[in-house]
Structure 1
Amino acid sequence: MFAELFTDSALWLLLGFLLIISELFVTGLVAVFFGIGAVVVGLLALFGLVTSLTTQLWLFGIISLLSLFAARRRFQRWLRGSVGDAASGQMSSGERGNRVTVLADFVDGAGPVQLRGTKWDAESTEPLKAGDSAWVQGNRGIVLIVSTTRP
Structure 2
Amino acid sequence: MAAIDQRTEELTQALRTAGVRITRQRKALLEVVAGAEDHPDAVELHRRAVEKMPGISLSTVYRTLTELEAQGVIQRLQFEGEAARFEHTETDHHDHMIDVETGEVVEFRSERIEALQAEIAAAMGYEIVRHRLELYVRRKPSGG
Q: TM-score, normalised by structure 2?
A: 0.28
Question: Larger Rg: 1 or 2?
Answer: 1
Higher strand share: 1
Structure with the bigger RCO (C-alpha within 8 Å, sep 6+) is 2
Q: TM-score, normalised by structure 1?
A: 0.27
